[in-house]
Amino acid sequence: MINVVLFGPPGAGKGTQAEFLKEKYQLVHISTGDVFRFNIKNATELGVLAKSFIDKGQLVPDEVTIDMLNAEVDKNSDAKGFIFDGFPRTEAQANALGELLVSKKTDVTAMVALEVEDEILVKRLLERGKTSGRADDADESVIRNRIKVYYAETAILKGYYEKQNKYYGIDGVGSIPEITERISTVLDTF
Protein backbone atom coordinates (compact mmCIF):
# COMPACT_ATOMS: atom_id res chain seq x y z
CA MET A 1 0.00 0.00 0.00
CA ILE A 2 1.31 3.47 -0.91
CA ASN A 3 0.15 6.35 1.27
CA VAL A 4 1.36 9.75 0.14
CA VAL A 5 1.10 13.05 1.98
CA LEU A 6 1.03 15.54 -0.92
CA PHE A 7 2.29 19.00 -0.07
CA GLY A 8 3.12 22.17 -1.83
CA PRO A 9 2.31 25.84 -1.59
CA PRO A 10 -0.84 27.21 -3.20
CA GLY A 11 -0.41 27.05 -6.97
CA ALA A 12 2.25 24.31 -6.92
CA GLY A 13 0.01 21.89 -8.83
CA LYS A 14 -1.07 19.49 -6.07
CA GLY A 15 -4.57 18.98 -7.46
CA THR A 16 -3.30 18.39 -10.98
CA GLN A 17 -0.65 15.92 -9.83
CA ALA A 18 -3.08 14.14 -7.48
CA GLU A 19 -5.31 13.37 -10.48
CA PHE A 20 -2.44 11.78 -12.43
CA LEU A 21 -1.07 9.87 -9.42
CA LYS A 22 -4.54 8.64 -8.52
CA GLU A 23 -4.90 7.08 -11.96
CA LYS A 24 -1.34 5.80 -12.36
CA TYR A 25 -1.11 4.10 -8.94
CA GLN A 26 -4.84 3.45 -8.40
CA LEU A 27 -4.84 5.51 -5.20
CA VAL A 28 -7.74 7.24 -3.49
CA HIS A 29 -7.30 11.03 -3.32
CA ILE A 30 -8.50 12.42 0.01
CA SER A 31 -8.66 16.21 -0.01
CA THR A 32 -9.41 17.45 3.48
CA GLY A 33 -11.27 20.44 2.05
CA ASP A 34 -13.47 18.19 -0.08
CA VAL A 35 -14.15 15.89 2.88
CA PHE A 36 -15.20 18.86 5.03
CA ARG A 37 -17.45 20.27 2.30
CA PHE A 38 -19.09 16.86 1.69
CA ASN A 39 -19.78 16.24 5.38
CA ILE A 40 -21.12 19.75 5.96
CA LYS A 41 -23.27 19.74 2.81
CA ASN A 42 -24.74 16.34 3.67
CA ALA A 43 -25.21 17.28 7.34
CA THR A 44 -23.47 14.15 8.58
CA GLU A 45 -22.93 13.95 12.33
CA LEU A 46 -19.28 14.96 11.85
CA GLY A 47 -20.25 17.66 9.35
CA VAL A 48 -22.70 19.26 11.80
CA LEU A 49 -20.02 19.13 14.49
CA ALA A 50 -17.38 20.67 12.18
CA LYS A 51 -19.80 23.39 11.06
CA SER A 52 -20.48 24.34 14.69
CA PHE A 53 -16.78 25.24 15.06
CA ILE A 54 -16.48 26.92 11.66
CA ASP A 55 -19.58 29.05 12.32
CA LYS A 56 -17.89 30.40 15.46
CA GLY A 57 -14.74 31.20 13.48
CA GLN A 58 -12.83 28.42 15.23
CA LEU A 59 -10.59 25.74 13.78
CA VAL A 60 -12.14 22.29 13.62
CA PRO A 61 -10.44 20.17 16.31
CA ASP A 62 -7.98 17.55 15.06
CA GLU A 63 -10.09 14.72 16.51
CA VAL A 64 -13.05 15.68 14.29
CA THR A 65 -10.83 15.90 11.21
CA ILE A 66 -9.21 12.55 11.98
CA ASP A 67 -12.66 10.97 12.47
CA MET A 68 -13.68 12.27 9.02
CA LEU A 69 -10.47 10.89 7.46
CA ASN A 70 -11.01 7.57 9.24
CA ALA A 71 -14.48 7.36 7.69
CA GLU A 72 -12.99 8.08 4.23
CA VAL A 73 -10.31 5.41 4.67
CA ASP A 74 -12.94 2.92 5.85
CA LYS A 75 -15.16 3.73 2.82
CA ASN A 76 -12.22 2.72 0.61
CA SER A 77 -10.95 -0.31 2.51
CA ASP A 78 -9.96 -2.08 -0.72
CA ALA A 79 -7.78 0.84 -1.89
CA LYS A 80 -4.17 0.30 -2.95
CA GLY A 81 -3.31 3.43 -1.00
CA PHE A 82 -4.20 7.05 -0.43
CA ILE A 83 -3.09 10.55 -1.37
CA PHE A 84 -3.65 12.89 1.57
CA ASP A 85 -4.03 16.46 0.36
CA GLY A 86 -4.34 19.29 2.89
CA PHE A 87 -3.61 17.12 5.91
CA PRO A 88 -1.61 16.94 8.09
CA ARG A 89 -0.64 20.57 8.75
CA THR A 90 0.85 20.22 12.22
CA GLU A 91 3.02 17.68 14.00
CA ALA A 92 0.06 16.65 16.18
CA GLN A 93 -1.97 15.98 13.03
CA ALA A 94 0.94 14.04 11.51
CA ASN A 95 1.09 11.87 14.64
CA ALA A 96 -2.68 11.35 14.51
CA LEU A 97 -2.56 10.39 10.81
CA GLY A 98 0.29 7.96 11.52
CA GLU A 99 -1.69 6.36 14.36
CA LEU A 100 -4.81 6.11 12.17
CA LEU A 101 -2.87 4.36 9.40
CA VAL A 102 -1.06 2.03 11.82
CA SER A 103 -4.49 1.03 13.16
CA LYS A 104 -5.29 0.02 9.56
CA LYS A 105 -2.03 -1.97 9.39
CA THR A 106 -0.26 0.54 7.10
CA ASP A 107 1.68 3.81 7.41
CA VAL A 108 2.65 7.00 5.58
CA THR A 109 4.96 5.94 2.75
CA ALA A 110 6.21 9.39 1.74
CA MET A 111 5.64 13.10 2.04
CA VAL A 112 6.00 14.51 -1.47
CA ALA A 113 6.39 18.29 -1.50
CA LEU A 114 6.16 20.21 -4.76
CA GLU A 115 8.73 23.01 -4.59
CA VAL A 116 8.12 26.14 -6.67
CA GLU A 117 9.61 29.63 -6.36
CA ASP A 118 7.26 32.21 -4.84
CA GLU A 119 7.17 34.47 -7.89
CA ILE A 120 6.14 31.58 -10.13
CA LEU A 121 3.40 30.65 -7.62
CA VAL A 122 2.06 34.22 -7.57
CA LYS A 123 2.01 34.31 -11.38
CA ARG A 124 0.26 30.91 -11.60
CA LEU A 125 -2.38 31.83 -9.03
CA LEU A 126 -3.13 35.22 -10.56
CA GLU A 127 -3.55 33.43 -13.90
CA ARG A 128 -5.78 30.77 -12.30
CA GLY A 129 -7.77 33.56 -10.64
CA LYS A 130 -8.89 34.80 -14.05
CA THR A 131 -10.94 31.62 -14.53
CA SER A 132 -11.29 29.91 -11.12
CA GLY A 133 -13.75 32.37 -9.62
CA ARG A 134 -11.82 32.08 -6.35
CA ALA A 135 -11.36 35.44 -4.65
CA ASP A 136 -8.19 34.17 -2.94
CA ASP A 137 -6.61 33.66 -6.39
CA ALA A 138 -7.28 37.21 -7.57
CA ASP A 139 -5.53 39.34 -4.90
CA GLU A 140 -1.73 39.31 -4.91
CA SER A 141 -1.41 40.28 -1.22
CA VAL A 142 -3.77 37.44 -0.23
CA ILE A 143 -1.77 35.03 -2.41
CA ARG A 144 1.53 36.10 -0.84
CA ASN A 145 0.05 35.65 2.64
CA ARG A 146 -1.23 32.15 1.76
CA ILE A 147 2.27 31.23 0.59
CA LYS A 148 3.81 32.65 3.79
CA VAL A 149 1.35 30.65 5.95
CA TYR A 150 2.15 27.49 3.97
CA TYR A 151 5.89 27.83 4.66
CA ALA A 152 5.30 28.56 8.35
CA GLU A 153 3.15 25.42 8.67
CA THR A 154 5.11 23.07 6.44
CA ALA A 155 8.60 23.77 7.76
CA ILE A 156 7.67 21.78 10.87
CA LEU A 157 6.39 18.83 8.86
CA LYS A 158 9.39 18.79 6.54
CA GLY A 159 11.60 18.09 9.56
CA TYR A 160 9.09 15.63 10.99
CA TYR A 161 9.09 13.48 7.85
CA GLU A 162 12.83 13.98 7.18
CA LYS A 163 13.57 12.34 10.55
CA GLN A 164 11.64 9.30 9.28
CA ASN A 165 13.39 9.39 5.87
CA LYS A 166 9.98 9.98 4.24
CA TYR A 167 10.38 13.55 2.92
CA TYR A 168 10.85 14.04 -0.81
CA GLY A 169 11.13 17.54 -2.25
CA ILE A 170 10.18 17.56 -5.93
CA ASP A 171 10.89 20.36 -8.41
CA GLY A 172 7.38 21.60 -9.26
CA VAL A 173 8.40 23.65 -12.30
CA GLY A 174 8.09 22.21 -15.79
CA SER A 175 5.44 20.50 -17.84
CA ILE A 176 2.79 18.45 -16.06
CA PRO A 177 4.19 15.16 -17.45
CA GLU A 178 7.74 16.12 -16.34
CA ILE A 179 6.58 16.78 -12.78
CA THR A 180 4.50 13.58 -12.72
CA GLU A 181 7.61 11.67 -13.86
CA ARG A 182 9.70 13.21 -11.04
CA ILE A 183 7.13 12.14 -8.47
CA SER A 184 6.82 8.68 -10.08
CA THR A 185 10.60 8.21 -9.80
CA VAL A 186 10.16 8.47 -6.02
CA LEU A 187 6.98 6.42 -5.70
CA ASP A 188 8.27 3.63 -7.98
CA THR A 189 10.90 2.83 -5.34
CA PHE A 190 8.20 1.61 -2.92
Active-site residue list: 14, 89, 128, 134, 146
Which is it for the CA torsion 158, 90, 132, 37, positive or negative? positive
Residue-wise DSSP of 1-34: -EEEEEE--TTSSHHHHHHHHHHHHTPEEEEHHH
Can you give the length of the chain in residues?
Answer: 190
If phi over 0 gives left and psi between -120 and 50 gives alpha, with beta otherwise, what is residue 43? left
Give the β-pairing of 167-171 and 28-31.
unpaired
